[in-house]
């Protein structure tokens, strides 16, 4: 088939890696198609000194890519599933979820090997309330400082000595070919990942059946079941990646059982509500909702309302 597929992407190194990955996979599966990458500079990439919520919120990056597809300038957008909002605009939808990279958080430091090795009062950089809460629960003595920017910027700030350690997604460091930066992978028992972390999704117009068919070989059903459960939980809790919510699902060896763990935390780590559910992969969505509802009943709503009502969040 001779068709050109245009990929809209942010121009950060990670976003470009994801776009190049999808381009290579599409070319591998379909000889004869052309794939072009259309880099879009986002407002969120230009304004780095303000909390993301103030520049337009968690969905800002995605919205600009969606506009280019709706305008007909691009055919697909490639997203990190962790950053994709729960609802899609009219006419757009998620066509494919690609195989997941390692979903863990990574401990990155030039002096220490793990959270437990950090000396008392050490400074840890992260701007994820999810990571902050879980670190504080384990190590209330540590100082957690704000850290934004793309992966390279964050690493430079670490190297400049502003932090004793920083926390980044393992997947990002592996994709950017910096495995040596990972001093240790943080166990999911210590830092439960964000919903969708490590997975890449492809969004396109829902009326483009030919394109959706071309994308199908990139789909990974195991990742899709896991991410579906995680996102269902997030959706019920109305959480994006700017809230202290973690959710992580795994499959057993023969894919007969899906195991979902979730938590909602006070950012200061003094209260972390945890819940879990086991079920059939086909019931992923219902499992996510069930865990979320139990967390809400246990007090998650009070925690989340307090965060949404904090002016600087």
Ligand X SMILES: NCc1[nH]cc(CCC(=O)O)c1CC(=O)O
* Cβ at position 99, least distance to ligand X in Å: 12
Minimum distance between the CB of residue 290 and ligand X, rounded to whole angstroms? Answer: 24
Q: Is 168 in the site for ligand X (CB under 6 A)?
A: yes
If one asks whether residue 171 binds ligand X (CB under 6 A), the answer comes out as yes
Give the separation between CA 30 and CA 42, rounded to whole angstroms. Answer: 30
Asked if 172 touches ligand X (CB under 6 A), the answer is: yes
Residue tagged active-site, from 45, 83, 105, 275: 83
Q: Is 169 in the site for ligand X (CB under 6 A)?
A: yes
Distance separating alpha carbons of residues 106 and 173, to the nearest angstrom: 8
Nearer to ligand X, 64 or 205 (CB): 64
Q: What is the smallest separation between the CB atom of 18 and ligand X, expressed in angstroms?
A: 8
Residue among 5, 14, 98, 246 that touches ligand X (CB under 6 A): 14
According to the binding rule CB under 6 A, does residue 82 interact with ligand X?
A: yes
Q: Is 83 known to be catalytic?
A: yes
| Residue with Cβ nearer ligand X (17 or 225) | 17
Looking only at residues 179 through 198 of this chain, which bind ligand X when binding is defined by CB under 6 A? 197-198
Q: Is the CB of 26 or the CB of 169 nearer to ligand X?
A: 169
80 is a contact residue toward ligand X (CB under 6 A): yes
Asked whether the beta carbons of 226 and 155 are under 8 A apart, the reply is: no
Binding flags for ligand X, 39-78, as an x/- string (CB under 6 A): ----------------------------------------
Would strands 143-145 and 123-125 be described as parallel, antiparallel, or unpaired?
Answer: parallel
Residue 242 Cβ, how far from ligand X at the closest point, in Å? 9
* Residue placing its CB nearer to ligand X in the complex, 14 or 122: 14
Closer residue to ligand X (CB): 58 or 294:
58
Write down the least CB distance from residue 239 to ligand X, Å: 13
Phi-psi label, residue 259: left if phi above 0, alpha if psi -120 to 50, beta otherwise? beta
Q: Give residues in contact with ligand X (CB under 6 A).
A: 14, 80, 82-83, 168-169, 171-172, 197-198, 241
Query: Which residues participate in catalysis according to the annotation?
Result: 83
């Amino acid at each position: 088939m001779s068709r050109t597929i245009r990929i809209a992407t942010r121009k950060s190194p990670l976003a470009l890696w994801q776009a190049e990955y999808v381009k290579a996979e599409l070319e591998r599966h379909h000889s004869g198609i052309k794939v072009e990458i259309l880099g879009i500079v986002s407002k969120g990439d230009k304004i780095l000194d303000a909390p993301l919520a103030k520049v337009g919120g968690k969905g800002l990056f995605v919205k600009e890519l969606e506009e280019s597809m709706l305008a007909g300038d691009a055919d697909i957008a490639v997203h990190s599933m962790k950053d994709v909002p729960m609802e899609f605009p009219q006419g757009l939808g998620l066509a494919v979820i690609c195989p997941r990279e390692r979903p863990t958080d990574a401990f990155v430091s030039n002096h220490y090997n793990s959270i437990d090795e950090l000396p008392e009062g050490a400074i840890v950089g992260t701007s994820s309330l999810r990571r902050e809460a879980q670190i504080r629960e384990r190590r209330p003595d540590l100082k957690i400082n704000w850290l934004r920017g793309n992966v390279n910027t964050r690493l430079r700030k670490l190297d400049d000595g502003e932090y004793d350690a920083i926390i980044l997604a393992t997947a990002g460091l592996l994709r950017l070919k910096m495995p040596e930066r990972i001093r240790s992978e943080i166990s999911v028992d210590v830092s439960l990942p964000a919903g969708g972390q490590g997975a890449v999704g492809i969004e396109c117009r829902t009326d483009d059946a030919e394109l959706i068919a071309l994308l199908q070989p990139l789909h990974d059903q195991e990742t899709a079941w896991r991410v579906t459960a995680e996102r269902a939980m997030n959706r019920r809790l109305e959480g994006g990646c700017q809230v202290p919510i973690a959710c992580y699902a795994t499959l057993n060896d023969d894919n007969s059982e899906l195991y979902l763990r979730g938590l909602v935390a006070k950012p200061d780590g003094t209260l972390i509500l945890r819940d879990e559910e086991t079920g059939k992969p086909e019931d992923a969505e219902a499992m996510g909702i069930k865990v979320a509802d139990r967390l809400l009943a246990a007090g998650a709503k009070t925690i989340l309302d307090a965060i949404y009502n904090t002016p600087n969040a």
